[in-house]
Amino acid sequence: MDILEKITFEFKLRPAYAENIVKLIDEGNTIPFIARYRKEMTGHCDDQVLREFYDRLRYLRNLEKRKEEVAASITEQGKMTSEISSALSAAETLSEVEDIYRPYKQKRKTRATVAIAKGLEPLADILLRQDVITGTVYDLARPFVNDGLGVHSEEEAVAGAKDIIAERVSDDAEIRKKLRRIFLKNAVLTAKLAKTDGEGAGTYEMYADYSEAVSEIKSHRVLAVNRGEAEGYLKVKISLDKDFAVRVCSVGVVKEGSVSTAVVKDAVEDGYDRLIYPSIEREIRGILTDNAGEQGIKMFAGNLKPLLMQPPVKDKVTMGLDPAYRTGCKIAVVDETGKVLAKTVVYPTPPQSKTEEAKKVLLDLIDKYGVDVISIGNGTASKESEIFVAELVKEAGRKVSYVVVSEAGASVYSASKLGAEEFPDYDVSERSAVSIARRLQDPLAELIKIDPKSIGVGQYQHDMPAARLDEVLGGVVEDCVNSVGVDLNTASPSLLKYVSGLNGGIVKNIVTYRNEHGKFRSRKELLKVPKLGEKAFEQCAGFLRITDGADVLDNTGVHPESYQGVKRLLERFGYTEADVRLGKLTDRPEKIKKLGESKVIVYTGLGEATLKDAVGELLKPGRDVRDNLPKPMLRSDVMDIKDLVVGMEITGTVRNVIDFGAFVDIGVHQDGLVHISELSDGYVKHPSDVLKVGQIVNVRVIGVDLKKNRISLSMKSSAKAKNAAAAE
């Protein structure tokens, strides 16, 4: 297989771009670096495409390596043929390679290996040829009766030969390949309730008597039945018409008109029942689970990125409130930079319900520190806390808003080694209150301290392959951190470790250097950090910012390798670095256009994409790409689920996007569900095509179930008519 040719075709790239990407990856360049600073070489492939390219490249290389191992093993056994070699060359998946290798693997003791040891393989060959048309199979078997080898009768000889034929059929790569394809297209997955007692029985009620085509079943249902099976509530099976499957196995094996035809038919059926079907069923279940896991991971990653990239609420003194009942609400006030100014505990919720006392304490804090916004965690007692805060802000002597934020993972951070290192004198709940405040001020900087799996924007994440999930989510965090950029002089080690080219050891050295020598004054100073060599500098420098350094370009996404060309650009149009700092370059795009972009490229030595990016950076040095995104929705009042009326139109925030819809926070503590069928007037293939986590949306209430505490929402324009009809 020509890997480069194949991957070029699959990704529809120019050969030169694909070759460059492979070379850049093999040279040790990171995905963020390639995506941002090698656009001319890759044809502007973004980080997502590059990561998919890398995954596919790794798979194809592993496939080729496995082919070589299998070929070497078969050759060593002296059984390699041109047909096997051609089949290996043509194999496009690891499962096809393993099918080819199956007959040549060293097997554990099986019925077939026992029969072979008894000298019955020649008899199996005779029966399988099916070219004898007179006499009986017992006539053929009689010469193989051998008490010394344990074959005491013609019947035993035939039975042993059938076992050998059954295993040969099972080991046939073409039969398995064909059946696998048929199962994926035509088989049905069924689930039955295995037990009705236990806490989880109700959870799997919809799968009590469930069946769906393997080709149609959705990923979240695969994961659901898998979990139900693992917990002992469901029995799950993959079914295909047996007669049809056996006929598929018989093609090219069974030949009519021979005295051994019936025996071969029996052997084929036995091979299917005993060997092929259980194996193929496991394979299909594995394929469904792998695909569901990949889809779930993709869904998680798709939700995680917009969550991490939520715009920070900048320059606001923030009060974090971690709600609770018996132990009280933990409070932390942090300044605009996230520095903790005060912490306390109040008891406005049951059972204490010391509302007035809590109001006095918090109003004093608001007045003393100039609190602008209150960030409320959405966990236990959140609703009561929100009602309390809504009343509180009305009595404040200054304008104060509040936001309910997801506190998923806050407790994980609070109890972590990192949390203890950051706030050694705080208890777990106090750290949580600080985290809740900071995740409003800068979601990315705070959320990267938490294992992405604990952030709570996926479904069935604990049922997915842990290593693969960590790899993908780590890539999402890495891409987010590097697309935003990191302040070299203030960033925490947790943030720095995600910067392109840096690892734990180098990050530790950067922080140590910073503590010993004070602020970095230039990016070049990074080269003085122990173990941070030229390659690491190349990979990380463009993503690290120095806000008040000597060179204004150090506060931009311009890479140091392009400084000379960018400075030539400034000189060509008569600008100084002071002009850049003061934002006086607004007319430069027009000047470049007037002179001619091609001439500017030649003069500066910058590539077309690099020039365009540099212009954007110089127009807004120090810009935060998140500032262009919709800001979090601040509230000053609260509703209850009982206040909802069918037909009511409300603005909400998307909290989670899943395979069958999206959950939207509409300010009543309980998120409402917009089912995929209610997302749009038109067809929606997947909810992630139209919604992102953190997105502000307008929805209509189409159903409220107070008993089950469920809210149904719609984003359809046609929902007006439905709402009116339901209200009547």
What are the DSSP calls for 63-127, one per residue?
A: HHHHHHHHHHHHHHTT---HHHHHHHHH--SHHHHHHHHGGGS---S-HHHHHHHTT-HHHHHHH
Same domain (yes/no): 413, 534: no
Mark whether 254 and 175 lie in a shared domain. yes
Give the Cα separation of 21 and 12 in Å (integer). Answer: 13
For the purposes of burial, counting CB atoms within 10 Å of the CB of 170, is it exposed (0-12), middle (13-18) or buried (19 or more)?
buried
The half-sphere exposure of 32 on its side-chain side, counting CA atoms within 13 A, is 26
DSSP string, 3-22: HHHHHHHHTT--HHHHHHHH
Query: Is 265 found in the same domain as 151?
Result: yes
Q: Are residues 402 and 451 in the same domain?
A: yes
**Domain final position from 104, 136, 161:** 104
The answer, yes or no, to whether the previous bond of 351 is cis (omega within 30 of 0) is yes
With respect to residue 46, please indicate whether it lies within any of the assigned structural domains.
Answer: yes
How far CA 370 is from CA of 84, 340, 430, in Å, comes to 77, 13, 21
Q: Domain holding 668: CATH number? A: 2.40.50.140
Residue 194 has pLDDT above 60, yes or no: yes
Reported as a single tens digit per residue, the pLDDT across 336-384 is 989 999 999 999 999 999 999 999 999 999 999 999 999 998 888 888 8
From residue 468, how far is each of 227, 263, 293, 454 by CA, in Å? 19, 47, 9, 15
Q: What is the CA radius of gyration of the chain?
A: 33
* Number of alpha carbons in the 13 Å side-chain half-sphere of residue 465: 13
Are residues 279 and 416 both part of a single domain? no
pLDDT at res. 651: 86
In a domain, 562, yes or no: yes
Tell me if 633 is assigned to some domain.
Answer: no
Cα angle, residue 430 at apex, residues 427 and 435 outer, rounded to 5°: 125
Q: How far apart are CA 100 and CA 359, in angstroms?
A: 74
pLDDT in tens, 272-317: 999 999 999 999 999 999 999 998 888 888 888 888 888 888 889 9
Write the CATH number for 322. 3.30.420.140
Total domains in the fold of the chain: 5
CA dihedral sign, ordered 470, 472, 476, 479: positive
Query: Which domain-ending residue is among 431, 466, 501?
Result: 466
* 527-539 tens-digit pLDDT: 999 999 999 999 9
H or E segment and range at residue 287 = helix 277-308
DSSP letter (8 states) at residue 146: B
Say how many Å lie between the first and final Cα of the chain, rounded: 66
| Beta strand ranges found along 649-719 (DSSP E) | 649-658, 661-665, 672-675, 696-705, 710-714
The CATH number of the domain where 168 resides is what? 1.10.3500.10
Whether residues 380 and 334 fall in one domain = yes
Share of the chain above pLDDT 70, in %: 96
67 and 125 part of one domain: no
User: Is the pLDDT at 716 greater than 60, yes or no?
Assistant: yes
- Looking at the fold, whether 351 and 439 belong to one and the same domain comes out as yes
Judge if 398 and 498 occupy the same domain.
Answer: no
One domain for residues 573 and 686: no
Residues 491, 358 share a domain: no
475 located within any domain = no
Q: Where does a domain end: 601, 628, 655? A: 628
How does pLDDT run across 404-427, given as a tens digit for each residue?
888 877 888 888 888 898 899 998
d(CA 506, CA 533): 10
Q: Is residue 712 helix, strand or coil? A: strand
Asked if residue 83 belongs to a domain, the reply is yes
Task: Give Dmax over CA atoms of the chain in angstroms.
Answer: 107
Residues 399, 260 within the same domain: no
Range of the structural domain that residue 693 is part of: 641-727
- Kindly state whether residue 680 falls inside one of the protein's structural domains: yes
